[in-house]
Structure 1
Amino acid sequence: MATIVVKQIGSPIRRPAKQRATLVGLGLNKMQKTRELEDTPSVRGMVRSIPHLVEIIEEKP
Structure 2
Amino acid sequence: MANLKITRVRSDIGRPQEQRRTMRALGLRKIGQSVVHKDTPTLRGQILAVRHMVTVEEVN
TM exceeds 0.5? yes
2:38 equivalent to 1:38: yes
Q: What TM-score results when the alignment is normalised by the length of structure 2?
A: 0.91
| 4+ residue runs over 4 A deviation | none
Aligned-partner Cα distance in 1 for 2:48–2:19: 11
Unaligned residue ranges in structure 1 (runs of 5+)? none
**Counterpart of 1:60?**
59
Which structure 2 residue ranges, 5 or more long, are not aligned?
Answer: none
2 CA distance for matches of 1:22 and 1:51?
Answer: 11
**Alignment pair present for 1:14 and 2:14:** yes
Shift of 1:19: 0.3
Number of residue equivalences:
60
Letter of the 1:29 partner, please give it: R
